[in-house]
A and B are shown apart, each in its own frame.
Chain A
Amino acid sequence: MRKYSVFAIAREALRGNTGWPEQWGSPEPKKSYDVIIIGGGGHGLGAAYYLAKEHGITNVAVLEKGWLGGGNTGRNTTIIRSNYLYDESAGLYNHALRLWGGLSQDLNYNVMYSARGVMMLAHNVHDVQVFKRHIHANRLNGVENEWLTPEQAKEYCPPLNISKDARYPVMGAALQRRGGTARHDAVAWGYARGASDRGVDIIQNCEVTGIRRGRDGAVTGVETTRGPINASKVGVSAAGHSSVLMQMADVQVPLESFPLQALVSEPVKPVFPCVVMSNTVHAYISQSDKGELVIGAGTDQYTSYSQTGSLAILQHTLDAICELYPMFTRMKMMRSWGGVVDVTPDRSPILAKTPVKGLYVNCGWGTGGFKATPGSAHVFAHTIARDEPHPINAPYTLERFRTGRLIDEAAAAAVAH
């Protein structure tokens, strides 16, 4: 791999930028690998990267049915935070947050992690109680999170309307200063480049059509649109499509897939300095480095793989945005899009071994998967390499739905990710 550096950029500038090497290769699939990862999003590519980098397993293929980062990695609003309530969640998301901090340097790829602060608004007494519970738990877990009065919230985010006459007045906010955003494509590409450089085969336009198992039931490989490929370990990291893939190995997962939409405004000069989330009124907003307001909407009520959603959902979100930031009604929606999010009954992911030997799954992130990318990829690699979970992902089993040990952040907080 040619390292990116100031010198490399200067050299290439003089050569008309014609000497940059491919960021990742495009090999034909081999007959056999030690590990196959299904799903070329941030989580899957990251897992391949950490398998190679930290576990020395380089005979790895990442199979992607479309193009890298084309699923939820490239469709989300890139919010990063770790101020979750339960110890299990704090452990996982804070692990990710620590990795975000050094990810650009680790990958030698600028993922533009921007710790501009994530503020979550409380609009009623119940919200206040819930957020304070989070803040106290976070403090004792070593997770940064602080309480702001409405005036402090306004100071942190000047466009915010804190009028007491608002339909849902702002009664305060929880702020995680190290929360922020990152450039979603760069995360997928940076991991792809790093993994490819370490010998991982990244195979796009390769859809898995079956999971092969031996007589003992253990995984032996996969069927794909580009032929069968052998491997004794297969990690499924396919977000909304995980149900379908797991069923190929006769594993039933408690997932439902819903359409989730987002939109961006036309670009304007800097006007919104941080990330603000409001779960009560469903409004999630930040401003990209290009100047677009990036706005997350809610899910439709029905399951769907159509990657589209209804206009009513966008309208509802913009109602809330314009209620909180009344100067934005003259802004224009430039582009909207939909993704498919896979949701578990307790809104927490499954990051675990499965009843099938050699089959591992990372799914169920709902609307919150992007922020966890490095942490999740890191412990998923560990789980695959060692055939046992890392202590951080040990609670995220498939079995918890049977036993009842749920990690129910949503129930605890009525908080979206």
Chain B
Amino acid sequence: MTQAFRIPSAGRLDTGRTLDFTFDGKSFTGLEGDTLASALLANGVHLTGRSFKYHRPRGILSAGAEEPNALVGIHRDEARRTPNVRTTIQELYAGLTAVSQNRWPSLSFDVGAISNLGAPFFSAGFYYKTFMWPRAAWERLYEPVIRRTAGLGVAPDKPDPDHYSNRFAHCDVLVIGGGAAGLAAALAAAEKGASVIIADEQAALGGSLRFESGAEIDGRPGWEWAQETKTALRARDNVRVLTRTTGFGYYAHNMLGLVERLTDHLAEPSPEAPRERLWQVRAKRVVLATGAIERHMVFPDNDRPGVMLASAARTYLNHYGVAVGRKVSVYTAEDSAYAAAIDLKKSGTDVLAIVDLRTDPEGALVEQARSLGIDVFAGHAVTGTEGRLRVRRVSISPVSGGPRRELEIDTLLTSSGWTPAVHLFSQSRGKLAFDEENQRFLPGEYVQDAVSVGACNGTSDLAETVAESLRAGETAAKETGAKKRKTVKFEAQASEDWSSGMAGAAPGAKSGSKAMAFVDFQHDVTAKDIRQAVREGMRSIEHVKRFTTTGMATDQGKTSNIHGLAIASEMLGKPIPQVGLTTFRSPYTPVTFGALVGHGRGKLFEPTRRTPIHSWAEAHGAAFEPVGQWERAWYFPQNGEDMHAAVARECHTTRQAAGIFDATTLGKIEVVGPDAARFMELMYTNPWQKLAVGRCRYGVMLREDGFIYDDGVVGRLAEDRFHVTTTTGGAPRVLNHMEDYLQTEFPELKVWLTSTSEQWAVIAVQGPKSRDIIAPFVEDIDISDEAMPHMSVREGRVCGVPARLFRLSFTGERGFEINVPADYGLSVWEAVWAEGQKYGACAYGTETMHVLRAEKGLIIIGQETDGTVTPDDAGLNWAIGKKKTDFVGIRGLQRPDLVAKGRKQLVGLKTTDPKTVLEEGAQVVADPDQPVPMKMIGHVTSSYWSENCGHSIALALIEDGRERMGEKLFVPMPDGVIEVEVTSTVFFDPDGERTNG
């Protein structure tokens, strides 16, 4: 199609550089530098979307981020489908494919529009009043229908092949917004020597200079000045210029979130290029130069395609060289819209009339419009529009009464004034102040180190804006310590004043009118809806917003919030500030999840920790399980074994010969210093002072409230040195807990704590042959039972490398744990493994480790305990030093309910049918025949098939369990009740003879 509405003499695009694109399958041509919106308008297309609720046809309203209507899906390929893209932001590229949304079967004929007929029934908050009968119908009928009609675009259904990037940055001065104000501030700050970042959401800097045809800065046309200034800034090494970058969030302590769009404007982005980049910028000073957003007029049927903002029409003309229509009129309550009429008229477009609500508009612009032959209807209002898919006629009447008149048009430009973009200021927790005269909120009291300049600060005169911004940039730079003497000075001029206007409903949409006068286009909220909300008792603007959903669409009310507020305020008879302003919430414009996620996907979602022996386990076919951040070998299936068979074999082999286990993940803390033993006494329930050097002890650590926090074997290497082990998941919190007490409660103790978890690889060799297997490798240590009994530790060399050798057992077998520097872990493991093969040893994983320890009644923190278990509950009273007068948790343990009867105690359970394996987590009852809800007296904490015992085994926490030895209890399962007998927790080798060989 030809670009019938392109005016070659206007705009800044090169008409020679054309690009083809499609919209709803139809092919069009645009120009390089177009947005999708400007390209569509160049082809005369206004109808681009359907509204959320009534499915009313909608056109392009704006030329910027505030766009509520013209949202489309962009389909780059099957996996790259992006819903709800604003055509006014999306830059055109060759081959761009756009589709309209929220319509069926087509944009021009949408069955959903039938809801428009029912609009009187679907007024604000109607859904709270209905869909309740019959009761089941909400879920089955109404809700599914509502869900299908709501929503806008279609979410992608394939994993996103694009990637995203993430950067942190620091600067002295961060400038948000690259219009005249932002550029001037950045330049002034940079000249002073400050490090500056300036960001703007558009592809080019210049802001409203894009459309302000008469603006002059430093003796040049505004737009030219902006481009030259940008080039000058880019050339400096203390300035970073970010385009296509939106400052979306203002967080605590002057940290801002910016998102930079890198590839969405390219026809063929490099696959290596990230699609978007998140910048998290910590700035010493922030200059907010975010401009202002034009508001539409609220009048009957103000939503037809072809009704748009005046400044948007001017942007399309002056920047993109597009006339938005052939027969244009303007409806305004302020001056700046006159400039749009004048520019269009000068470009040769037929501008029929300017309808101005003000009775006596005056000034240079008004005169100029009149002199160009445009009819100015002062004191008039637009009272209605016609046209199904495009506005074709408007009715106007004098506000004070009088004959109605009709204008045949194809485009109506509206403006009711400008709303300063105070979003980021408000997000910074600054307090807004209401400017009564101009009906607008402006930055009041600042809470963070920021300053606002230009239109977002209520400064509408360009000369003043530039002067103010230069000052602000210089001051910000000075405050951050910039010392250069250089000061920038230049002047600017323009003829427009943006401060006046009106907010709320225009005549024709006033109280009592039944007209559909839209406040929030996307959500179909009308002036009438706002009034109804107030009538129904919604007095806070937050209630009005939530009841009507005004301002809650994807544009977050950028054009509508002030109107809604003014209508509510009029209705309540209270001034606007008393009705309140809804909170501005981040993000300023929607931010892609991917940008926030950055690289944190897949394997980089969280670090994966692996032991030095991991590669060996992998090569030997291990199945792995995630344990916290660790990946641990779970079991080692051989010859097609399933988990059950593998674990049974590993358990059997370990007790018959030996098993080798990678215990590297255990947390390890070195506790060193003259007061080390005293400190250990405080941190653990056990006594430590008398533990001999070279011996080990199982330690229990409590929280101050008396519940078990962690456990592990501790070896005393010297009078002043302990090698503490913790659970795999517990290492960081145990060290933190110890440091906390050491630094804040017991700072007088001379103790140093060092995490050594990563320093040591730990190879456990368990089983009757364990000593034989390790013997060839152990140097300088006598590992005979006499010299090195169960629960002892020695330092020496294993395989020629320095080692700490522990004789201990988590299996009930004779066992050793070889600690060697992590770098040697794999080679020592391989040596031990090779030797083990001679004795028929196997490698085993965490599952076998769990079974073997359960056969011996040894607990696992987090499985037998859950943060509500005391040492006594777990049968660990023996681990509490009876003579001790203090340790963390000693007082908590004395609390009445921790010593009361009826606490759950750890016992063993044996199923009457030895083959039945209980399910972990299953609940235990005394009476299986009672009705639901049943009285549960405990639960199964661990349960396994024990190949070594020849029957299933289980551990359970049972009310007064130790008094129930031999008692029959019951585990009611969905498919029947399982009978169990309460037993000791030790199922295998009850006398513990095997640990000593």
Interface residues of A (CB under 8 A from B): 4, 6, 8-10, 12-14, 16-18, 20-26, 66-68, 70, 74, 87, 90, 102, 104-105, 108-110, 112-116, 123-126, 129-137, 139-142, 159, 166-169, 183, 185-186, 189-190, 204, 265-271, 281, 287, 289-291, 306, 308, 310-311, 314-315, 318-323, 326-337, 345, 400, 402-406, 408, 410-413
Contact = CB atoms under 8 A, between A and B. Distances in A.
Contacts of B597: 315, 318-319, 322, 329
Interface residues of B, number: 111
Nearest to A22: B537
B939 A402 contact: no
Contacts of A102: 135
A166 B416 CA distance: 53
Given A105-B132, A268-B84, A330 B592 contact: yes
A308 B600 contact: no
A62 B750 CA distance: 57
A289 B706 contact: no
Interface in B572-601: 583, 585-587, 590-594, 596-598, 600-601
B862 A126 contact: yes
B147 interface: yes
Contacts of B143: 112, 114, 289
B536 A23 contact: yes
A124 B626 contact: yes
B157 A327 contact: yes
B590 A333 contact: yes
A308 B430 CA distance: 13
Contacts of A109: 128-129
Given A20-B535, A67-B543, A137 B156 contact: no
B130 A9 contact: yes
B421 to A, nearest CB: 17
Given A327-B156, A327-B158, A142 B147 contact: no
A329 B129 contact: no
A112 B127 contact: yes
B127 to A, nearest CB: 6
B82 A403 contact: no
Given A16-B120, A16-B528, A412 B83 contact: no
B625 A318 contact: no
Contacts of A131: 921
A14 B934 CA distance: 56
B940 to A, nearest CB: 8
Given A139-B974, A185-B546, A323 B605 contact: yes
Nearest to A331: B593
Interface string B67-83: 00000000000001111
Nearest to B860: A126
Interface string B133-175: 1010011000100111011111111111010100000000000
Interface stretch (B27-35, B378-386, B667-675, B892-900): B892-900
A399 to B, nearest CB: 10
B150 A267 contact: yes
Interface string B540-565: 10110011010010101000000000
A322 B601 contact: yes
Nearest to B158: A327
A16 B151 contact: no
Contacts of B249: 311, 336
A404 B554 contact: no
B925 A329 contact: no
B246 to A, nearest CB: 11
A404 B896 contact: yes
A87 B933 contact: yes
Contact of B540 (A6, A67, A320): A67
Contacts of B160: 322, 326-330
Contacts of A403: 895-897
A117 to B, nearest CB: 11
A241 B323 CA distance: 57
B867 A412 contact: yes
B132 A108 contact: yes
A87 B532 contact: no
Given A17-B528, A105-B132, A139-B932, 12 more contacts: A16-B528, A67-B539, A110-B129, A126-B863, A129-B863, A135-B921, A190-B128, A266-B83, A267-B151, A291-B150, A319-B601, A332-B593
A265 B593 contact: yes
Nearest to B280: A311
A26 B152 CA distance: 37
Contact of A332 (B84, B127, B625, B707): B84
A268 B537 contact: no
Contact of B153 (A10, A125, A269): A269
Q: What 9 A-B pairs have minimum CB-CB distances, sorted nearest first? A: A411-B867, A291-B151, A133-B921, A332-B590, A67-B540, A329-B594, A326-B159, A132-B921, A22-B537
A17 B17 CA distance: 54
B665 interface: no
13 contacts: A6-B130, A136-B923, A318-B593, A322-B601, A327-B158, A330-B594, A331-B156, A336-B587, A337-B585, A404-B705, A406-B868, A408-B867, A413-B866
A17 to B, nearest CB: 4
A360 B549 CA distance: 36
